[in-house]
Amino acid sequence: MKHYGVITTLFLFFTSLVTVTVAQTRVESVPANIIVSTDLGTKIISRHIYGHFSEHLGHCIYGGYWVGETSSVPNTRGIRNDIVEALKKTGIPNLRWPGGCFADEYHWMDGIGPREKRPTMINTHWGGVTEDNSFGTHEFLDLCEQLGAEPYICGNVGSGSVEEMSKWVEYINSDGINPMSDMRRENGRDKPWNVKFWGVGNENWGCGGHMTAAYYSDQYRRYATYARNYGSNRLLKIAGGAGASDFDWTETLMRDIPHHMMWGLSLHYYTVNWEDKGSATSFVERDYFETISRCLNVENAIDRHIDIMDRYDPEKRVALVVDEWGTWWNVEPGTNPGFLFQQNAMRDAMVAGLSLNYFNERCDRIKMANIAQTVNVLQSLILTDGEKMLLTPTYHVFEMYRIHHDATLLPLTLNCSSYAMDGTELPSVSASASMDKEGVVHISMVNIEPARNVRMLIDLRGGDFTHVAGRILTAHELNAHNTFGSPEEVKPVSFGGAKISKNMISLEMPAKSIIVLEVK
Three-state DSSP at 434 gives: strand
Residue 222's H or E segment, with its range, is helix 213-226
Residue 2's H or E segment, with its range, is helix 2-23
Give the whole-angstrom CA distance, residue 248 versus residue 375.
33
Please, what is the end-to-end C-alpha distance for the chain in angstroms?
A: 15
Do 68 and 25 meet the contact criterion of CB atoms below 8 Å apart?
no
**Choice among 324, 361, 399, 449 that is catalytic:** 324
Residue 61: DSSP 8-state: T
Question: Could you give the C-alpha distances from 174 to 5, 112, 181, 184, 470, in angstroms and in order?
Answer: 57, 16, 6, 10, 47
**Choice among 55, 150, 170, 203 that is catalytic:** 203
Q: Closest Cα to residue 200, out of 246, 263, 251?
A: 263
Q: 326 — phi, psi (to 5°)?
A: 135, 180
324 is catalytic: yes
- Report helix angle 247-256 to 213-226, nearest 10: 40
203 is catalytic: yes
Give the whole-angstrom CA distance, residue 500 versus residue 457.
10
| DSSP string for 477-491 | STT-B--SSSTTSS-
Do 346 and 481 meet the contact criterion of CB atoms below 8 Å apart?
yes
Angle at 356 between CA 352 and CA 360, to 5 degrees: 175
Neighbours of 253 (CB within 10 A): 25
Do 243 and 205 meet the contact criterion of CB atoms below 8 Å apart?
yes
Q: Any idea which residues carry the catalytic annotation?
A: 203, 324
